[in-house]
């Protein structure tokens, strides 16, 4: 099992870990700050360093059970099992993805009542697809989005019993991806105050600690992707 330190400490860029396994599919650590690809967010990249060597990590994915696989660059020499390594993510890339991911939650809060049919997070641009019959006004969405960013709302992580999905299914806005069940716990990302959140959703991704970290964003394009599907693409302003 790999302890996912990024779930509670998304601002931690590096840590010391022990190699549990070193296979062709990837390197397994006992704990990691590397986010494993999922939910529209790419896996982290970075480097594993140890006494006498280092391995560049070009992607991070989920393995069997609770394993996380750190995939090395082609022809890289991985550290053998038992090695103590320093695991360091590409922080500039990660922080860009964190800013984008939090922005998508803010965007979701502005498109009220519409289910999310798809999405993708990137450092340069990101998108959400909504089940909407007509496109919202681009200029209005951009202005409202930047107002929420500038308000510097707190972004917090909370854990609740997963049974909340049975009593409050409206927490889930996505049609294509459902929160994983079976662990007994559900991770919630709250933007804003507890008694009146701007947004509250189950999410396993990484986020900034305050919306003011995001910086200006622009709505690059709104596209029609079907009779009931509107794609909103955002990019740094």
pLDDT of res. 226: 84
Lookup: tokens for 176 = 């294509």
d(CA 75, CA 124): 29
d(CA 213, CA 145): 14
Instruction: Report the topology of domain 94-236.
Output: 3.30.980
pLDDT of res. 169: 67
β-pairing, 84-89 with 46-50? antiparallel
User: Is there a contact between 38 and 69 (Cβ–Cβ < 8 Å)?
Assistant: no
Backbone phi and psi for residue 217, each to the nearest 5 degrees, phi listed first? -125, 155
- Please list the residues that pair with 79 across neighbouring strands: none
The HSE-up count of residue 56 (CA atoms within 13 Å, CB side) is 5
User: Is there a contact between 94 and 28 (Cβ–Cβ < 8 Å)?
Assistant: no
Q: How many residues are listed for the chain in this entry? A: 237
Place of tokens 């038992």: 82
pLDDT of res. 162: 81
- Please list the residues that pair with 21 across neighbouring strands: 28
Instruction: Report the topology of domain 3-89.
Output: Elongation Factor Tu (Ef-tu); domain 3 (2.40.30)
Q: Where exactly are the structural domains of the chain?
A: 3-89, 94-236
**pLDDT tens digit sequence for 93-146:** 999 999 999 999 999 999 998 999 999 999 999 999 999 999 999 999 999 999
Lookup: tokens for 47 = 């480097």
Ranges of residues in the chain whose predicted pLDDT is under 70: 169-170, 173-183
């Amino acid at each position: 099992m790999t302890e996912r330190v990024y779930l509670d400490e998304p601002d931690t860029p590096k840590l010391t870990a022990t190699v549990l396994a070193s296979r062709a599919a990837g390197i397994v650590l006992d704990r990691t700050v590397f986010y494993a690809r999922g939910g529209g967010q790419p896996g982290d990249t970075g480097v594993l360093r140890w006494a006498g060597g280092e391995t560049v990590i070009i992607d991070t994915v989920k393995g069997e059970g609770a394993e996380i696989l750190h995939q090395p660059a082609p022809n890289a020499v991985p550290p053998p099992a038992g090695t103590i390594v320093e695991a360091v993510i590409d922080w500039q890339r990660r922080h860009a993805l964190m800013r984008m991911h939090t922005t998508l939650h803010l965007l979701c809060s502005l498109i009220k009542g519409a289910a999310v049919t798809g999405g993708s997070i990137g450092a340069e641009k990101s998108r959400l697809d909504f089940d909407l019959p007509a496109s919202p006004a681009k200029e209005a969405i951009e202005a409202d989005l930047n107002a929420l960013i500038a308000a510097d709302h707190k972004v917090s992580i909370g854990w609740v019993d997963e049974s909340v999905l049975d009593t409050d299914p409206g927490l889930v806005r996505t049609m294509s991806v459902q929160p994983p069940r079976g662990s007994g716990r559900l991770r919630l990302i709250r933007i804003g105050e507890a008694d009146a959140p701007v947004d509250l959703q189950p999410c396993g991704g990484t986020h900034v600690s305050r919306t003011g970290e995001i910086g200006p964003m622009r709505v690059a394009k709104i596209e029609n992707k079907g009779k009931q599907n509107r794609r909103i693409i955002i990019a740094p302003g």
